[in-house]
Amino acid sequence: MNTKSNSYVMVFTIGLCVTVSSVLAVLATELKETQLAAAEFDRQKNVMMAAGLIERGDSRPRPELEALYKKRVKSIIVDTRDGSLAEGDSKEQVVALNAKASEADPKDANAFRMIETGFTEDGRLDAIILPVSGKGLWSTLYGYLALDADKNHVKGIQFYKHGETPGLGGEIENPEWTAMWKGKEILNDKGELVSVTVKKGKVNESIPSEVKHYVDGLAGATITSNGVSKFVLRDLQAFSTYLQKK
């Protein structure tokens, strides 16, 4: 066989592409469950970090952290229309509930949302962990905002998925910046929802309202900062009826 002929090169190239594609397809199929499990574990860690159950970089074995999540965190489904709780605690049930709601009224296609609740060792409610997501500069940001049991003070915030620029918008993952959120208040002195705003520049420590409701902006990432302010407020408003219930 003439290994230098055009036909040989073409057959060899096609054969190699088919072989590599087949191997990649098999690997993708075989590893899908493992990848999904790893993504879910990462999500659980971010929930627990937001709730103050673990610190970033916790070195405990995965089974121990998964057991901690199972013991101290509970998923619940909230009907954002009236703040009531629905039966179930899984994403699949949320999808089914929203599908049924959208049949009755298309605007209710996202009426049901799942949140997490954190508990102390002795079973007392310690945190309400709300999913937050929205547009930054280059991507959709996904994270969790945890509130204290008083439903006013921020316990923590964590982002687990985004495509923002490292060193700029990507600083939403910086522990020094997320730590600024702790203790901030989402309600003003009248009990009205005002959320927490990412300020352009530094918080003025001499202005009480800024100390309570603002965090420092991300340097060089104004669009990302504005995006975080907007979608955190929007998601808090979506859960406001639930948060107002005792």
Report in angstroms the alpha-carbon separations of 5 from 10, 11, 14: 9, 10, 14
pLDDT of residue 188: 94
Spans of all domains in the chain: 46-244
Q: What is the pLDDT of residues 144-168, one digit of tens each?
A: 999 999 999 999 999 988 888 888 8
Q: Which residues contact 136 (CB under 8 A, 6 or more apart)?
A: 162, 164, 169, 172, 223, 224, 227, 228
Rounded Cα–Cα distance for residues 4 and 16 (Å): 16
Residue-wise pLDDT for 30-75, tens only, equals 657 888 888 889 999 999 999 999 998 888 999 999 999 999 999 9
pTM recorded for the entire structure: 0.83
The answer, yes or no, to whether residue 3 has pLDDT greater than 70, is: no
Alpha-carbon distance of 118 to 69, in angstroms, equals 9
What's the pLDDT tens digit per position in 100-154?
999 999 999 999 999 999 999 999 999 999 999 999 999 999 999 999 999 999 9
What pLDDT digit, counting tens, does each position of 71-84 carry?
A: 999 999 999 999 99
User: Cβ contacts of residue 141 below 8 Å, gap of 6+?
Assistant: 133, 134, 135, 159, 161, 162, 164, 172, 224, 227, 228, 231
pLDDT at 13 over 80: no
Residues in the chain: 246
Residues 149 and 52 sit within 8 Å (Cβ to Cβ): no
Question: Chain-wide mean pLDDT for the chain?
Answer: 89
Distances (CA, A) of 171 to 215, 226, 244: 13, 14, 32
